[in-house]
């Protein structure tokens, strides 16, 4: 009884391929991506939205990094990730789209960098969580990394999927939320 205090153990927890690294701000997330790119030039940073790719390419150029380390999902072909370590710099609002993209990649873990000030997180009230985390001593460049974060993101994406009848494409996460979640 004591071992079942928090309910049944979720056996599907081992099936999640994404490892989320959440930061307090987009700036901190971008800095973490730049540091990873400098440390591991084999990384391929993948953006779901054109606006994100533009911002990241500009930041990488300013840091003296190859902007070709950044790609958008619609330019991504399986051969492009050969010999690379794919890293997502944002989540797509619909989990099934993420799974569809990676289903043939044969990877156990894929890192996803996120920020609590992104529209997807704001949709679920991250504005209320940020002050609490700062009060608890979280610094902007501290990372939140836990399987519960990944599960919460997936649950949020599944809630969004139930609200979307006909998906409209967008150039940014904010525009996607605005167009699809009226």
Q: Which two tokens stand for residue 51?
A: 């606006």
> Domains of the chain, with CATH numbers?
15-180 (3.40.50.300)
Range with the largest mean pLDDT of 11-15, 25-29, 147-151: 25-29
Provide CB contacts within 8 A for 114, sequence distance 6+. Answer: 20, 21, 22, 23, 29, 90, 91, 120, 121, 153
* pLDDT tens-place string over residues 82-98: 899 999 999 999 999 99
Average pLDDT value for the chain: 87
How far CA 82 is from CA of 47, 52, 65, 86, 107, in Å, comes to 17, 23, 20, 9, 11
pLDDT value, residue 12: 44
Average pLDDT score over residue span 66-84: 90
Alpha carbon distance 177, 10 (integer Å): 29
Instruction: Say yes or no to pLDDT of 179 above 50.
Output: yes
24, 116 in Cβ contact below 8 A? yes
pLDDT for res 5: 39
Dist CA 108 CA 47 (whole Å): 20
pLDDT of the residue at 14? 41
18: which strand partners? 110
- Rounded distance between C-alpha atoms, residue 42 and residue 128, angstroms: 37
The pLDDT-based confidence of 16 (bands split at 50, 70, 90) is low
Assess contact for 19 and 112: CB atoms under 8 A: yes
* Sheet arrangement for strand 43-47: 70-72, 43-47, 85-88, 110-115, 18-23, 143-144
Q: Express each pLDDT in 89-132 by its tens digit.
A: 999 999 999 999 999 888 889 999 999 899 888 888 777 776 67
């Amino acid at each position: 009884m004591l071992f079942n205090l928090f309910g049944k153990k979720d056996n599907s927890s081992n099936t999640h391929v994404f490892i989320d690294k959440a930061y307090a701000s987009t700036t901190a997330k971008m800095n973490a991506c730049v540091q990873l790119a400098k440390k591991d030039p084999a990384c391929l940073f993948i953006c779901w939205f054109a606006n994100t790719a533009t911002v990241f390419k500009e930041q990488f150029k300013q840091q003296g990094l190859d902007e070709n380390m950044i790609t958008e999902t619609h330019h991504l072909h399986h051969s492009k990730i050969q010999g690379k370590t794919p890293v997502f710099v944002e989540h797509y609002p619909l989990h099934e789209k993420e799974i569809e993209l990676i289903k043939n990649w044969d990877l156990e873990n894929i890192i996803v960098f996120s920020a609590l000030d992104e529209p997807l997180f704001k949709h679920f009230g991250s504005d209320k969580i940020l002050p609490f985390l700062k009060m608890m001593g979280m610094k902007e460049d501290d990372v939140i990394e836990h399987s519960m974060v990944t599960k919460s993101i997936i649950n949020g994406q599944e809630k969004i999927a139930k609200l979307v009848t006909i998906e409209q494409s967008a150039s940014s996460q904010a525009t996607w939320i605005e167009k699809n979640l009226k």
